[in-house]
Amino acid sequence: MRCSTQQKWTKASKSLIGVAVLAATPGLADVLSDPHLNTLPRTQDEANRVQAVTSPVSDFSTAEKFEARSGGAASVPARADADAFSQPSGNMAFERELDFRLGNGLFKKLWVSSPSSTLASDGLGPLYNARSCQRCHVKDGRGHTPNGPDDKAVSMFLRISIPGSVTPDGIADYLATQPDPTYGLQLQDFSLPGHPAEYKLQVSYSEIPVVMSGGEVITLRKPDYSAANLGYGPLHPDAMLSPRVAPQMIGLGLLEAIPASDILANVDADDLDGDGVSGRANVVWSAEFDQPMLGRFGIKAGSPTINEQSSAAFSGDIGISTPLFPDPWGECTVTQAACRAAPHGDNDVRGHEIDHEAMNLVTFYSRNLAVPERRDESDPLVLRGKQVFYDTGCIACHTPKFVTHRLEGQPEQSFQLIWPYTDMLLHDMGPGLADNRPEARATGSEWRTAPLWGIGLTQQVSGHTQFLHDGRARSLIEAILWHGGEAQAQRDAVVAMPKADRAALVRFLESL
């Protein structure tokens, strides 16, 4: 299926009632499949082994077997430089590394405007957030918040939408948003000559002190976002804005290879086990497969596959057409007529500004960015921090382990025991983190549980320690203190616990 950027909302909205009915089905795991994967069924013996190996442990005196290899056999030794997130899967055959390198080249490619003598690289914009994938995911790591009003290397932007129609039949969450009629679903802060940029991001912070046990005070920074210098008139009066910082790229192929049924097995929307945690699946309409699928990627699990997520990023972030989203003008709306009429790069043998073959290489690269091995997993302080993590109930959302599908054609991701520390589900994180902007089934206060693997290498790779969806947290402890809603009890337990236990908890997270 080929779906234009402007059409993807229309196409999806026509199917949302069907998605809503599906999502309300008690046996969700029986009807949501994994069409993006060529899977082999598990035998009963394998299912029993998976159940045994992924069950939570209660002995924290030593590290678990294989615990150091967060990405299974695809893990790589942790490097001591900024390239720690840029290595191919450790179990990749030599002959497949060329595709990884070619994909890396496309990931780093700087796109130029049309018309251009550089026919393989033209088609940028006219409105865009970056000229390459690497400009946002620097060294395949996290983006950062603005360092000042003129910082142009931020890797951060604003999603935008307006409220949709509310229906009386219990499926309003599916119909809750639609594009801003002028600005679409994303605000672009750069443009080609002759086209005004859509906006300039402005962020201000206020301070919130939090008193910890023992009298320690930790100051949080609460952000306030606005869109200034609007290039195409005012925003819709009901516009909802949500900030995004580019996330790290490691382990995506392994997350994509987790069986949907294993993720859905942890859904507890009505909190039947009484632990205060109510994970929900985001079910989204796939433009790639023309059917409902489990949302896996993005801050609110709004995309089902790496290819679809990457294709949407080419369109929205760079203004590059792909086979999946073929609009040559990227995300320009009908209102932005000059943008749509501008020269583009679809007029050569590629057919699209990035064609099917190149898109497959980018997907292969993104699928195979390796997870570094753990560091100091047997250190007594790390083991104590692991016990605090478990005892505090953090694993209710940050599920330690999964085993991936058996796969044909993807040996790097096939049947691997992985340690991502995420359940891939949506959780209500309370008003402090709420952006009040729904996305598919995700409400304005729900977020997908972020994977924790590699989090201790953020400073080394990205040059900062800014966490959460908008980088507001300047340390791991600040990120914990922003937790609310379903994680309020865990957050309060961290505030109240002895300082030594907090230090051990942070030390454990730094070892991931």
Query: C-alpha angle 355/361/364, rounded to 5°?
Result: 140
Q: Does the pLDDT value for residue 215 go beyond 60?
A: yes
pLDDT of residue 149: 63
Polymer length in residues for the chain: 512
Nearest to 262 by CA among 47, 429, 450, 58: 47
331-377: pLDDT as tens digits: 999 999 999 999 998 877 788 999 999 999 999 999 999 999 999 99
pLDDT of residue 11: 45
Average pLDDT, the chain: 91
List strands edge to edge, sheet with 156-163: 177-178, 156-163, 240-245
Q: Tens digits of per-residue pLDDT, 260-314?
A: 999 999 999 888 888 899 999 999 999 999 999 999 999 999 999 999 999 999 9
pLDDT of 224 strictly over 90: yes
User: How far is the C-alpha of 321 from the C-alpha of 208, rounded, in Å?
Assistant: 43
The residue-averaged pLDDT of 152-171 equals 73
User: Quick one: pLDDT at residue 33?
Assistant: 87
Residue 429 has pLDDT above 60, yes or no: yes
* pLDDT the model gives residue 1: 44
Q: What DSSP letter does each residue of 50-109 carry, written as one string?
A: HHHHHSPP---SSPPTTTT-TTGGG-BPPPSSTTTT-PBPTT--GGGHHHHHHHHHHHH-
Q: What are phi and psi of 312, to 5 degrees?
A: -65, -35
- pTM exceeds 0.85 for this model: yes
Contact of 224 with 202, CB cutoff 8 Å: no
Task: Give me the percent of the chain exceeding a pLDDT of 90.
Answer: 83
User: Mean of the pLDDT values across residues 444-456?
Assistant: 97
Work out whether the CA dihedral 232, 157, 116, 340 comes out positive or negative. Answer: negative
pLDDT digits (tens, 9 = 90+) for 68-127: 999 999 999 999 999 999 999 999 999 999 999 999 999 999 999 999 888 889 999 999
Is residue 487's pLDDT more than 90?
A: yes
Q: Render pLDDT for 489-499 as a digit per residue (tens, 0 to 9).
A: 999 999 999 99
Greater confidence (228 vs 15) lies with: 228
Encoding tokens for residue 306? Answer: 């790496």
The residue written with tokens 């409400």 in the block is 443
Neighbours of 140 (CB within 10 A): 26
* Dihedral sign computed on CA atoms, order 203, 206, 212, 215: positive
From 1, 2, 13, 28, select the one nearest 283 (Cα to Cα): 28
Residues 6+ apart with CB under 8 A from 309: 297, 298, 303
pLDDT value at position 349? 77
21 pLDDT more than 70:
no
Q: pLDDT category, 177, cuts 50, 70, 90?
A: confident
- How high is the pLDDT of residue 20? 56
How far CA 453 is from CA of 160, 176, 357, 445, 510, in Å, comes to 29, 33, 30, 24, 9
Which phi and psi angles does 281 have, rounded to 5°? -85, 140
